[in-house]
Structure 1
């Protein structure tokens, strides 16, 4: 198997795991969302710490602690991913799986908007069209829900902002994930201590299976992230951009087919507009990538000719 095909396999596996996360987090009930989040943070930090120990790779911590700007960026990223995780768990366990899927469908469009507003990037006309259709879709869905789809918008905004910060940092996935989890671990431990003292903790009081699933949250969080990192090193950006739709498609299927969440005509129309926007966005990305590849090839050919 070629390295690129192996990368696609890694990426597809990561997105499939993320796509079935609604089933996993539903199984963690009756624990409330914040208890699930706290355990997810703590066991993620513990699992990645074991990986780093096995790889004897702790030297990065010195660089992080000696670089206030890097530490500040990681702290901001940790807060954003914590908000994202908490919102997702709340959405799944309040029977809004379809809305969480919408959040990850519109995330690419939000990332583009952040590029314009924060990075001062210039959009191509097709990108503007995709963003505009996405905005109309959110308006249609707001009318259908009777409110803004705030779970979807918080998921998209938090993950888009998280991606923007991560793009500016230069830590490999395992190291970055450990530091982010470590930043959140102290408040998570404080919350769990309070919850246990108040007698409201479900962990260890439901069943052996529930306890095992809560402990497994660290592995469930880290493994797809590491698979994605392995894919990102092998698969072209356009390929990753197409793969990213696997997870929300599966999440949507879970919401509609497994948990029987409603999908009235107006909501279906809103999702249809989102999908049209994503087709335009992805098609423009593919065209742009091919044009850039042709330009690079022409430049390389001209350089070889000039040096011949």
Structure 2
């Protein structure tokens, strides 16, 4: 139960921080999405590696990598996960900096549905009847948005699928969150470095060529990337995937509020109806989960008594 509590708190922390991301990306919207992505990879690797070294876990990190290499399934799952999350990062940064924050909110509202389906199909996770009702309400809410757009929202689908599958893969890899992130970003590091070399020779590099604030915020992408990802990995390893999926509603709700209130993107009656279904789903799921947890506690206490 202690692990479950840690997993819930870690997941809430991760999604709260992700919900604030549009503010950060807007500060450096003058930098190309590709360069921001490359910076995220490079500085995430550098800063998490320094952190691991300071914790005197360098030898453990090497041991983790060797163990991964001997377990080829886990090695390639993490390799694929690294590139999936990079795709997700790029889509998100591009969408925010091209004034489509509400659509990123749609993508991350869709993500729990993808997570639930993946958990049921691949991990044989089961939902209670109330959780099934909540799931159906969430689907209705998303379908209303689909219809209102009048076209397939590819950006939202790309965000939902890439992160949903990433979560599924991470769920199956037993690896310390911080050291795992070092290895994960190491897989993408060569591509990021090659892209920066390309930018340098093209004369289009913003890092060290604009101002101090830009430099600091690009370096800071490593910190704002590493912390929520470490929290997410901790959460995904300690609680069921469907629970991770519904906790994720924190992030798109915050993003939606930022998009509408702070950045003045449109949000009409159709969106309100759609999001009301999604919020209702979250309420039903939360209440049913609390009831299930209390019930399991009572059963556990009875067994301990006997």
TM-score normalised by structure 1 residue count: 0.86
Q: Which one is further off, 11-20 or 245-254?
A: 11-20
Question: Which residue matches 1:198?
Answer: 202
Question: Structure 1 pair 14/110, CA: closer, same or farther in 2 (3 Å)?
Answer: closer
Question: Which residue matches 2:145?
Answer: 141
Q: Distance in 2 between matches of 1:170 and 1:97?
A: 33
Question: Structure 1 pair 154/286, CA: closer, same or farther in 2 (3 Å)?
Answer: farther
> Does the Cα contact within 8 Å between 1:109 and 1:130 map onto a contact in 2?
no
Q: Give the RMSD, CA atoms, in angstroms.
A: 3.0
**Secondary structure of the residue that 2:111 maps to in structure 1?**
helix
Question: Structure 1 pair 21/41, CA: closer, same or farther in 2 (3 Å)?
Answer: same
Q: Distance in 2 between matches of 1:134 and 1:242?
A: 10
The one-character-per-residue Cα deviations of 1:30-76 (angstroms, maximum 9, x if unpaired) are 22212111110110000011011111212322212332122111101
Question: Which residue matches 2:158?
Answer: 154
Question: Which residue matches 2:35?
Answer: 35
Q: Which one is further off, 268-277 or 7-16?
A: 7-16
Q: How does 1:182-193 map to 2 (within 5 A)?
A: 182-193=186-197
Q: Distance in 2 between matches of 1:256 and 1:214?
A: 26
Of the candidates 208, 214, 230, which is equivalent to residue 210 of structure 1? Answer: 214
Question: Structure 1 pair 27/245, CA: closer, same or farther in 2 (3 Å)?
Answer: same
Question: Which residue matches 1:26?
Answer: 26
> Does the Cα contact within 8 Å between 2:45 and 2:222 map onto a contact in 1?
yes
> Does the Cα contact within 8 Å between 1:238 and 1:286 map onto a contact in 2?
no
Question: Which residue matches 1:163?
Answer: 167
Q: Distance in 1 between matches of 2:240 and 2:78?
A: 26
> Does the Cα contact within 8 Å between 2:111 and 2:160 map onto a contact in 1?
yes
- How far off its partner does 1:78 sit? 0.6
- Whether 1:49 aligns to 2:53 is no
Question: Structure 1 pair 11/70, CA: closer, same or farther in 2 (3 Å)?
Answer: closer
> Does the Cα contact within 8 Å between 1:98 and 1:261 map onto a contact in 2?
yes
| Unmatched segments (≥5 aa) in structure 2 | none
Question: Which residue matches 1:286?
Answer: 290
> Does the Cα contact within 8 Å between 2:259 and 2:265 map onto a contact in 1?
yes
Q: Distance in 2 between matches of 1:241 and 1:69?
A: 24
Question: Which residue matches 1:131?
Answer: 135
- Whether 1:17 aligns to 2:21 is no
Q: How does 1:89-100 map to 2 (within 5 A)?
A: 89-100=93-104
> Does the Cα contact within 8 Å between 1:100 and 1:152 map onto a contact in 2?
yes
Q: Distance in 2 between matches of 1:237 and 1:169?
A: 13
> Does the Cα contact within 8 Å between 2:167 and 2:236 map onto a contact in 1?
no
> Does the Cα contact within 8 Å between 2:171 and 2:237 map onto a contact in 1?
no
Of the candidates 172, 194, 209, which is equivalent to residue 176 of structure 2? Answer: 172
- Whether 1:249 aligns to 2:260 is no
Question: Which residue matches 1:306?
Answer: none
Question: Structure 1 pair 264/85, CA: closer, same or farther in 2 (3 Å)?
Answer: same
